[in-house]
Structure 1
Amino acid sequence: MTTDDLPAAQQVFAAAFLEVDRLGRRWNDPEPEPQGADAARTWLARMDHLLAADPAGCVVAEEDGGLVGFAVSQNRGGVWYLAVYAVQPGIQSKGVGKRLLDAVLDHADGRPGIFSASAHPGATRRYRLAGFTLHPMMRMVGRVERSALPVVQGLRDGRPDDLEWMDALDGRLRGGGHGPDHRYLLENARLIVSAAPDRRPGYVYLDEALGRPVLLAADDPGTAGNLLWDALAHTRGETLVDSITVANDWAVDVGLAARLDLDQKGYLALRGMSEPAPYLADGYVL
């Protein structure tokens, strides 16, 4: 993949995931809508960051001179993750997806792996055959009940000098730090940390534009719960707590107490590693 491929990749991504949303739509869900212009710009910026950070993990598939599929994966120390992977609807049974997945798994070079997987039947079959365990994920959506918010102390806004211990925490939870992903997130989201000498460490990023937490890691469930409560206190309107696995049911307790609704969404695919906890993955930098 090159930077010139990104606009075409965005088009493939938007078409493929609109189809996934339509296939997974429940009877009472609103009709899925195409990706908007703001979301497309954010997606392109994120992919540009990943392509610069580890270009060897980013590959495309072409047919008749046009891009028909792509995969963006990254090595971060001792862990590999698949950020996004899509094939143009209509050619998804021609083996393109398998060849893309094989290519990025070669890039992993035996590292433990993690990614967020949709519930698309063809994709889940491919992931399982590649040796990944599929852990069902939950999500919580709704408006936070402001009267339920507790007083949380001992947290502060994060700084660049926090990134070293945050990477060390990531290493304990998932086998490798986020490295350059932390620097990207710090520039594009609000960072809240628990870093006082007498407290267990942890952090959460808050996407203030979307009004939701996007990545959380902590040394223990109590710290994780405090971080999530603080993130929810900063949300306005509808919010989302995503990527909750069974090992992170502390997040379900917080969400229910905040009067959010519990739902299901896809899988956390893991190979060679246990469920990270206390940990809420981001869909793109895992």
Structure 2
Amino acid sequence: MDHVVVRPMAVADLARAERTSSETFYVADQLSRRVSEPEPQPRDAAGAEKWIARMRYYLDVDPAGCWVAEDDGAIVGFAISQNRGRFWYLATYGVLPDRQGGGIGKRLMDAVLAYADGRQGMFSSTVHPGATRRYRLAGFTLHPQLRMVGTVDRSTLPAIGGLRDGTADDFAWMDRLDTKLRGAGHGPDHGYLLNTMRLVVAKSENRRGYVYIDDAGRAALLAAEDTETASDLLWEALASAKGETLVNCITAANHWAVDVGLAARLDIGQEGYLAVRGMADPRPYLASGQFL
């Protein structure tokens, strides 16, 4: 492993890092697949383009949090993190399956945690034993996550009022809500998310919250002042679902989302951990896997 170099990521690394990410997570999905689930599929060309575009965004906004492990010109691992004020998050992290267990992952994690510089932080974790041990030793509390999957029974959809499409004019109060729930705003991430997803907001004197809904009609990030507003926003996302849908990153503090999913006739399962350090498990809140 002495010839493996852990260094800051560069734009020229993006295509090679994407291939490493694709292989790493494809194998992980195969190993964690439940018997009732369909066979995982490799990332397609459109997915690869989205991954590269998202990593390029991280490099543009906070390049010092982006690291790769290189061995003789090949990218064998990566760890992409970001600082947002006093908050740090890990967007994605992985090491090629045949290179795991040799200390590369530890070196990458040491690099991004050093960059965090003691900030409170959060990220979504798999159940990989070596990785979760590393996270716990780094001071993170691991909150088990649930997920809801299936096709929405559209006869269960309630009539929801008081919601509208959001715009960049909403970012200021959304960041204040983020700060209340997780200690810091999403800042520039809101602009990226708005450009790639639909934003729905609830904004009145006693009712504030938002949800980003992806192009498959899935809730990608949700935050609210109270569980009633959060539930309405999640129902709006479920109403937008195209075919089978997914609601993930549900921690015990956010059991309201389980109630909504069960009411919509979705199935419940377990999926990894939400790792937090220096902060409480945010509620009512459904984290984004990439922007937390």
Asked if these proteins are the same fold (TM beyond 0.5), I'd say yes
State the 1:65 CA deviation. 2.4
* Alignment: residue pair count: 284
Residue in 2 that maps onto 1:283: 289
Q: Letter of the aligned partner of 1:90 in structure 2?
A: D
Residue in 2 that maps onto 1:225: 231
- Provide structure 2 residue ranges, at least 5 long, that are not aligned to the other structure: 1-8
Instruction: Provide the secondary structure at the position in 1 that maps to 2:13.
Output: helix
Ranges of 4+ aligned residues in structure 1 off by more than 3 Å: none
1:207 corresponds to which of 211, 214, 226: 214
1:181 corresponds to which of 174, 189, 193: 189
Aligned-residue sequence identity (percent) comes to 61
- Mapped pair 1:192 → 2:209: no
Write the distance in 2 (CA, Å) between the matches of 1:236 and 1:59: 36
1:113 corresponds to which of 107, 121, 128: 121
- Mapped pair 1:141 → 2:146: no
Write the distance in 2 (CA, Å) between the matches of 1:255 and 1:65: 46
Q: Deviations over 1:14-73 (max 9, x none)?
A: 111112112212233222221111111111111111111100000111112221111100
| TM-score, normalization by structure 1 | 0.97
Write the distance in 2 (CA, Å) between the matches of 1:23 and 1:179: 36
Residue in 2 that maps onto 1:171: 179
Residue in 1 that maps onto 2:5: none
Q: Letter of the aligned partner of 2:34 in structure 1?
A: R
2:273 corresponds to which of 240, 258, 267: 267
Instruction: Provide the secondary structure at the position in 2 that maps to 1:243.
Output: strand
Write the distance in 1 (CA, Å) between the matches of 2:115 and 2:251: 26
| TM-score, normalization by structure 2 | 0.95
Q: Deviations over 1:223-250 (max 9, x none)?
A: 1001111111122211111110000000
* RMSD of aligned Cα (Å): 1.0
2:105 corresponds to which of 97, 122, 129: 97
- Mapped pair 1:61 → 2:69: yes
1:132 corresponds to which of 123, 136, 140: 140
Q: Deviations over 1:178-237 (max 9, x none)?
A: 01110000111000000123x3210000002x2211000000101100111111112221
